[in-house]
Amino acid sequence: MAIQNYLYDQIDAIFDDCSGIRIYHDGNIKEIKKGTKEFEEIIKQWQIDCKNGYEMPAYFVALPKESAEDMKSGLHIEFLFDETRTHNEMPFDALVLKLVPSQYGYTLTRHHDGIYEGRCYHLHRFEPTNELLEIVSSLIEK
């Protein structure tokens, strides 16, 4: 349990420095600025998801062309950072994840030096969730 709490503290702490959010929906992009009600709602739910899960190794390595193509369809959320951050010795400027119904976990693809590539992070949950999906879906309808 101690290692799980250690990893949770690390992954959760990263999002304290999130400077903005982008929502990608079927090729459309919506910007959510820090300090807005929408931003706070997403971050609050994300922190709940982090608390109700644990970080584990991702079995996914992002390839630039495939990652960019994948973000053109479906629903994705990208957490933006003003400066390069590092977690588990892997640098990133943004983290993007795909949202689908009844998720048991999230693979976070790293954006660094202008491309999405390399090893990813994975946050596994004990139970499936739809809350973040519902929040983000409601924002794209506005």
Give the pLDDT score at 10.
Answer: 61
Q: Is 93 exposed, middle or buried (0-12, 13-18, 19+ CB in 10 A)?
A: middle
Give the pLDDT score at 79.
Answer: 97
Give the pLDDT score at 32.
Answer: 97
Give the pLDDT score at 54.
Answer: 83
Half-sphere exposure of 97 (CA within 13 A, CB side): 20
Distances (CA, A) of 68 to 2, 24, 64, 77: 36, 11, 6, 13
Give the pLDDT score at 83.
Answer: 94
Give the pLDDT score at 87.
Answer: 87
Per-residue pLDDT of the chain (142 residues; tens, 9 = 90+): 444 444 444 666 788 889 999 999 998 999 999 999 999 999 999 999 888 888 887 788 999 889 989 999 999 999 999 999 988 889 999 999 999 999 998 999 999 999 999 999 998 888 898 999 999 999 987 6
Give the pLDDT score at 8.
Answer: 45
